[in-house]
Amino acid sequence: MRHITSALFGASILGLACAPAAFAADVAAPAPIYTKAPIAVMPNWGGFYVGGDIGARWSRSEWTSTFFPPAVMPSAVDNPAKLDKTSLRFGGYLGYNWMVAPAWLLGIEADIGSGGGTVTHTPWPGASAVGLVGNGAGHDFVNAQLGWDGSVRARVGYVMSPTWLVYATGGVAWQRITTSGSCDGAAASLCNPPGFSESATATKTGWTLGGGVETMLWSNWIGRAEYRYSDFGHVSNTLPAAAGIGFNASIGVRSSIAMLGLVYKFGN
The pLDDT assigned to 243 comes to 57
Domain assignment present for 93:
yes
Q: 5-33: per-residue pLDDT in tens?
A: 444 334 433 343 444 444 344 444 455 55
For residues 63 and 181, give the distance between their C-alpha atoms in angstroms, rounded to a whole number: 11
Which pLDDT score, from 0 to 100, does residue 27 have? 44
Q: What is the structure's pLDDT at 61?
A: 93
> Residue 28 domain-assigned?
no
For residue 205, tell me if it sits in a domain. yes
Is residue 36 included in any domain, yes or no? no
Segment 98-118 shows an average pLDDT of 93
Percent with pLDDT over 90 in the chain? 59
Q: Which CATH number do you get for residue 241?
A: 2.40.160.20
Decide if 35 is inside a domain. no
Q: Does residue 36 surpass a pLDDT of 90?
A: no
User: For residue 102, is it within any domain?
Assistant: yes
Domain contains 182: yes
**Domain range enclosing 108:** 47-265
- Indicate the number of domains in the chain: 1
Q: Per the confidence metrics, is the pTM higher than 0.95? A: no
Residue 89 domain flag:
yes
Q: Which residue has the higher pLDDT, 210 or 239?
A: 210
- For 224-233, the pLDDT digits (tens) are 999 999 999 9
